[in-house]
Amino acid sequence: MTTTQTTPTRLLPELRLSSPSNRDALVIDTPVILAPMAGVTNAAYRQLCREQGAGLYVCEMITSRGLVVGDPKTAEMLAFWPEEEVRSVQTYGVDPVSLEVAVDILCKGFGVDHIDLNFGCPVPKVTRKGGGGVLPWKLDLVREIMASTVQTADRFGVPVTIKTRIGIDDRHLTFLDMARLAEDSGVAAICLHARTVAEAYSGHAHWDAITQLVQAVDIPVLGNGDIWEAKDAVAMIEQTGCAGVEVGRGCLGRPWLFRDLAGAIAGEDETVLPSLGEVCQIVRRHGELLARLWGEEHGMKDLRKHMAWYFKGFPVGGELRHTLGMVSSLAELDTLLAQLDPDVDYPTAELGRPRGRQGSPRSKVTMPWGWLDDRCGLELDLSEAELETSGG
């Protein structure tokens, strides 16, 4: 009797990002992207996710101002390792000229291969000055920002993508206008976090908006929002027709999610949940990478915030959880991890549940007075919307 093995059908082709002068400036075999997250996606965490299967892994956001003024913290955040064959950075700025200088620094000084422009930050201290997720309301200014960034990056053959939200609130939508501007400006792809600024990270993402975006433009559209498991990514791709997915909060304490996502993109149906022992191995690897990046003392301090995410739902006693959250050395980490039963199964009750910040929707988005009166913005001085020189 002969048995026939079928080859899995790939869910998505590779993702090709173009610059105006370079059609295939960047080719991503697995269109699964680690979203930039402040205080999380440093070189160590990017390496961890790369090892698990992420196709593109973006450095935490830095500001154009931080680059232009030579802020040391910004430079520290732009640490890349030889293993990172593709250097990807998200930057944020409100001034086309400043962004032009910043992009030149990124490409020439840091050898960056991909630049993502952030137009989606919902933080009130940013939006009240006209920045972040309310900036897309000013279409003329956004057009200048995109054009300046794309033209500068194209001198180095570097593709530019953008990330935005649906709009300010459900009465002031901006995503379709942003997509058309992006396409006209030579932007390589657009990622949509399918929530409004008012919703921040609360409620459920509106995947129907991703579908609308896919139908509105010819450049690739990446979907973001409520991808907690591989099946969520499959559902988003099938429902919306997006060209890839970007994952942020869903991978907190679960970098192996990228292994599952890569398998799903390749057409594989099965996912294997890690035992507590396997989670401990990943925590140890994370600690090693952080120690390599910053030294053991600083690295262990950074690892502490990840402990609650890694062990969420596992039967870890309160005292041990507290001690893990105060770990100060790799030797101490080894001692603490050895106290856990490696054969404990993964807590399936945690599957599909939101992770990280959520919060509540806002009844009102804080903006400058008269912000909604017109769509231009070229005459505005928005420098205070970028006062912090570091990213995040």
Is 375 exposed, middle or buried, given 0-12, 13-18 or 19+ CB atoms closer than 10 A?
middle
For residue 321, what are its two tokens?
Answer: 């959880």
* Lowest-confidence segment of 140-154, 222-236, 258-272 by average pLDDT: 258-272
Please state the rounded mean pLDDT for residues 41-69.
95
Query: Three-state DSSP class for 23?
Result: strand
Percent of the chain with pLDDT over 90: 90
- For residue 390, pLDDT beyond 50: no
Please state the rounded mean pLDDT for residues 3-32.
89
> pLDDT digit string (tens) for 100-142?
999 999 999 999 999 999 999 999 999 999 999 999 999 999 9
For residue 144, what are its two tokens?
Answer: 């200048």
pLDDT in the model for residue 39: 93
Please state the rounded mean pLDDT for residues 45-49.
96
Which sequence positions are flagged as catalytic?
Answer: 121
> pLDDT digit string (tens) for 294-308?
999 999 999 999 999
The beta strand positions in 136-269, using DSSP E, are: 160-165, 167-169, 172-173, 189-193, 221-224, 244-247
> Are 226 and 205 spatial neighbours (Cβ–Cβ below 8 Å)?
yes
* Local confidence band at 6 (pLDDT 50, 70, 90 cut-offs): low
Strand 189-193 to 172-173 pairing: unpaired
Please state the rounded mean pLDDT for residues 142-165.
98
Report the alpha-carbon distance of residue 54 to residue 246 in Å, rounded. Answer: 10
Report the alpha-carbon distance of residue 153 to residue 148 in Å, rounded. Answer: 9
* Local confidence band at 388 (pLDDT 50, 70, 90 cut-offs): low
Alpha-carbon torsion (250, 255, 260, 266), positive or negative: positive
pLDDT in the model for residue 357: 77
Question: What CA–CA distances, in Å, run from 166 to 41, 68, 194, 373, 377?
Answer: 24, 30, 6, 19, 19
pLDDT in the model for residue 270: 79
